Amino acid sequence: MAAGHNNVAAVGTSASNAKYGTSYLASYSQGTSHAQVAVLKANLRQYRSITPSYLWTSTTSLEGNTSNSFDAATKANLIVFQNNTGLTADGIYGAGSRNAMHASIGVSPKGWVRIFKSTPGYVNYNDTAEGLSADATYKLDHSWCTSACRDTLYSLGYSFYSYYNKLIQVNDACLLDGADTPEHSTHQTGTEVDIRNAGLTTAQATKFLEICIANANVKRVIYYTTHGLTSNKILVQSDHGDHFHVDTFS
């Protein structure tokens, strides 16, 4: 479970390895030998077993291939996975592929879910190239939360979209099952999510606050201003100038 990866092949950096006492690599590619490569192969075998066989014609099977060596067959299977999940199919397993693997077959013992990459209500900033780049220090997956929290995000985003035809950008929630994170003091309960305010006008930010206040599952929003709204759900914190921190009840 170290660093919130559970059953999925882990990636890491010197900073995250120092934090968790692990020795994960930032990426794995053909020629790499590492224990996480064997995990990746198991992940690819599982993914292959739950996807249509026509995707895999002419791709060497990884059945029985359980070594730590990232070989040509691993690369070929990874490329199919990347193609099928909308990633750049470069055959290199890094944070983007890890996120997609989490989304595909990641298991949360607590029953948490991963925030979708995109929906009609929001986009997951963590899964964008910009978001992945912003997470380069630790390369952790902060997209896990409770299912009720994810439903609430969708509801908030969809309401906002209906006013402005604009998708909100969901940023960090929690690591899988609330593993301790070096990037936040809280964000461990599965009910805490940051929403970016980049590109929002004052009117749009105000509307988003109104939508949050009206949502029964929103417990609190931390933001740098109330924008003139009166609600005990808004907690003003000056250091929340670039995002809304949304707490949900469940």
Partner 1 sequence: MRILKICGIVALTVLIGCANSEAPNLAKPSPPATTGETAAPTVPSPHFTTQLETPGPAITGVSKVKLINDLNYTGKEISLNLGGRQVPATFVEINLHPYGFYIPENMQEFVFEDGSEVGLNRAEFIGLSEVERLVNPDNLHESLRFGGDTLFYDEELQQFEEYIGSSKDGDEGPRVDGFLLKHGGTPDMLIYFRYFNKNKESVLPIFLEVTKNIKYIEP
Minimum Å gap between C-beta 191 and partner 1 is 9
Q: Which amino acid is at 178?
A: G
Judged by CB under 8 A, the residue of 189, 204, 206, 226 near partner 1 is: 189
Within 10 Å of residue 232's Cβ, how many Cβ atoms? 7
Residue type, 68: N
Q: Choose, by CB under 8 A, the member of 75, 98, 142, 245 that binds partner 1.
A: 245
Among 149, 200, 221, 222, binds partner 1 (CB under 8 A): 222
CA atoms within a 13 Å half-sphere pointing along the CA-CB vector of 245 = 18
Candidate residues 23, 88, 162, 237; the one interacting with partner 1 per rule CB under 8 A: 237
Footprint on residues 8-27 left by partner 1 (CB under 8 A): 15, 18-21
Q: Residue 143 or 159: which CB sits closer to partner 1?
A: 143
Select 86 or 111, whichever has its Cβ closest to partner 1.
Answer: 111
Q: By rule CB under 8 A, what string of x and - marks binding of each residue 161-180 to partner 1? A: ----------------xxxx
* 56: its two tokens: 């895999």
CB of 29 to partner 1, least distance (A): 27
Phi, psi of 170 (to 5 degrees): -85, 130
Q: Which of 111, 130, 134, 201 binds partner 1 (CB under 8 A)?
A: 111
Q: What does each C-alpha distance from 79 to 50, 93, 197 come to in angstroms?
A: 16, 9, 34
Write down the H helix ranges in 35-176: 35-49, 72-84, 95-105, 129-134, 147-164
Cα torsion for 21, 115, 178, 34, to the nearest 10°? Answer: -20
Which residues of the shown chain bind partner 1 in the complex (CB under 8 A)?
A: 1-2, 15, 18-21, 109-112, 146, 177-180, 182-190, 192, 222, 237, 239-240, 243, 245, 247
